[in-house]
Amino acid sequence: MRVYKFGGASIADAGRMAALLPIIADVQDPLLIVISALGKTTNALEAIVNNACKGEQKIAKDLIAKLEQQHLDYAHDLLNDNYYPKAAEALKPLFQELELAARDADAESYDYSYDQVVCMGELFSSRILSFFLLQSGIDTDWVDVRSVIRTDDTYRDAVVDWNQTRGEAEAILGKKLQQHKVVVVQGFIGSTSYGKSVTLGREGSDYTAAILASMLKMESVTIWKDVNGFRNADPKLFPNTVKIDAISYAEVIEMAFYGAQIIHPKTIKPLHNSNIPLYVKCFLDPKMEGSVIKADVGDAHYPPLIVLKEKQVMVQLTTRNFSFINEDNLSNIYSIFHSLKVKINLLQNAAISFVACIDNREDKVAALRQVLGKDYKVSLRDGVSILTVRHYTQDVIDNLVAGKNILLRQEMGDTVQFILN
């Protein structure tokens, strides 16, 4: 048994989804498919929850109606007269759930409201895919993964309850995979023990695939993307990137930690623990070899690995009484970041100052500024980026930072990082 994960680009339109059929049909063993939302659906759902939390219910309702029609049009383009009505009927209660979630959205509990709304995108797309596979003669079943992946209530970045999830995965998905050739589930989402929807972090579908592969002792995971494998940098941001045929779990964990988008940061650990290889292949040309991520790749020599993390805010703190940023102050600062659930992407501290880069989320930045301002002088600088290069060479660094304003540089071993604007 194996897991295939398809992202939003692979199902951007009905033609793209139809083109996945040979990839799926070619698999002889039972196959678990993890699917993302249709392209730009998550952005549309974010607009819905944002308007709903502002009290703009009419705008939110109109956006829901537009999104529903887009999915119905997509299904109509893909399905015949027999299966389209079935898909439309199956989508109806899901959009009703979305309407209720938007109606109950509250700015005071934004993260909770966000997850109740944004979780719906993968449910819509997976429902359509399941009917398309049935129409194509493939024995398929659909499962709401919220009944499988159980988590705590850390909304927008939920922590998986591994014991409970393992039991549900074996009882539900294990049984389904014995009965059907293909089982379709959603990436990115789960639920608390109280049945409230959660998300696992943006781009969390990769993580879902890894969780379920580990729980079910799968042979492999394949992530199908619009690139022909794992590259040393994002080809959308950098020219002349280099394909890496094989790369170690450890190296990918480092890149993911620094913000590489090709693999979700949490994906590797469950695969490493179960020694499951992860393949990255191109859905545009399935015959291309792609890349593999695994424990042992021999004596690998990597090119410079480049990660650019944009839309950052640089937070600089100084003590009001010129006391040192020592263990007591550091403990206080970290506890504040932790309590507000703000992830630090880069940090550096000196005698009386502390610098951290965080994602530019308006609500989190405002809360952080308010709380930190009680004890420290707080300076914020938005519009900055973090550039990380592993296995760097000086000529690569010179080229990457040419013409940029370097606000901070730090280096450890063969890894160098910059805050740029």
Residue ranges per structural domain of the chain: 2-219, 305-420
| Residue 240: closest CA among 289, 306, 288, 287 | 306
Q: Over 90: is that where the pLDDT of 256 sits? A: no
Least confident stretch, 90-94, 195-199, 220-224, 234-238: 234-238
Helix and strand counts by DSSP (H, E) for the chain: 15, 19
Pairing between strand 221-225 and 230-231?
A: unpaired
Q: How far apart are CA 40 and CA 43, in angstroms?
A: 5
Q: What are the beta bridge partners of residue 314?
A: 357, 381
Q: What pLDDT, on the 0 to 100 scale, is given for residue 296? A: 85
CA 111 centroid distance within chain:
16
3-state secondary structure at position 210 = helix
Q: What is the pLDDT of residues 26-37, one digit of tens each?
A: 998 999 999 999
Q: How far apart are CA 213 and CA 48, in angstroms?
A: 33
Q: What pLDDT, on the 0 to 100 scale, is given for residue 236? A: 86
Q: Over 80: is that where the pLDDT of 254 sits? A: yes
Q: What pLDDT, on the 0 to 100 scale, is given for residue 39? A: 86
Q: What is the pLDDT of residues 350-391, one digit of tens each?
A: 888 899 999 999 989 999 999 999 989 999 999 999 999 999
Alpha carbon dihedral 319, 324, 325, 328, in 10-degree steps, equals -100
| Residue 41: closest CA among 68, 75, 62 | 68
Q: How far apart are CA 318 and CA 11, in angstroms?
A: 48
Pick left, alpha or beta for residue 188 (phi over 0 → left; psi -120 to 50 → alpha; otherwise beta).
Answer: left
> Which has more pLDDT, 324 or 46?
46
Q: Over 90: is that where the pLDDT of 345 sits? A: yes
Q: What secondary structure letter does DSSP report for 109?
A: G
For residues 92-112, average pLDDT: 97
Q: What pLDDT, on the 0 to 100 scale, is given for residue 419? A: 96
Instruction: Tell me, yes or no, if the pTM score tops 0.75.
Output: yes
| Residue 205: closest CA among 1, 7, 46 | 7
User: pLDDT band at 335, cuts 50/70/90?
Assistant: very high
Q: What pLDDT, on the 0 to 100 scale, is given for residue 322? A: 80
Q: What pLDDT, on the 0 to 100 scale, is given for residue 360? A: 95
For residues 173-177, average pLDDT: 97
Q: Over 80: is that where the pLDDT of 326 sits? A: yes
Q: What pLDDT, on the 0 to 100 scale, is given for residue 257? A: 84
Alpha carbon dihedral 180, 182, 186, 188, in 10-degree steps, equals 120
Q: What pLDDT, on the 0 to 100 scale, is given for residue 293? A: 93
Average confidence score pLDDT of the chain: 94
Q: Over 90: is that where the pLDDT of 208 sits? A: yes
Q: Supply φ then ψ for residue 315, to 5 degrees.
A: -105, 125
Q: What pLDDT, on the 0 to 100 scale, is given for residue 297? A: 87
Q: What pLDDT, on the 0 to 100 scale, is given for residue 67? A: 98
For residues 170-198, average pLDDT: 97
Least confident stretch, 77-86, 141-150, 199-208, 240-249: 199-208
Distances (CA, A) of 265 to 161, 176, 249, 400: 18, 29, 11, 24
CB contact set of 391 (below 8 Å; sequence gap of 6+): 302, 303, 304, 305, 414
Q: Which residues of 185-214 are buried (b: 16+ CB within 10 A; e: fewer)?
A: bbbbbbbbeeebbbbbbebbbbbbbbbbbb
Q: How far apart are CA 34 and CA 20, in angstroms?
A: 13
For residues 246-266, average pLDDT: 84
Q: What secondary structure letter does DSSP report for 174?
A: I
Helix (H) or strand (E) holding 408: strand 406-412
Q: What are the beta bridge partners of residue 33?
A: 4, 184
For residues 115-138, average pLDDT: 98
Q: What is the pLDDT of residues 267-292, one digit of tens each?
A: 889 999 999 999 999 999 999 999 99
3-state secondary structure at position 239 = coil
Do 199 and 189 touch, CB atoms closer than 8 A?
yes
Instruction: Indicate the fold that domain 305-420 takes in CATH.
Output: VC0802-like (3.30.2130)
Assigned CATH for 2-219: 3.40.1160.10
Q: Over 80: is that where the pLDDT of 203 sits? A: no
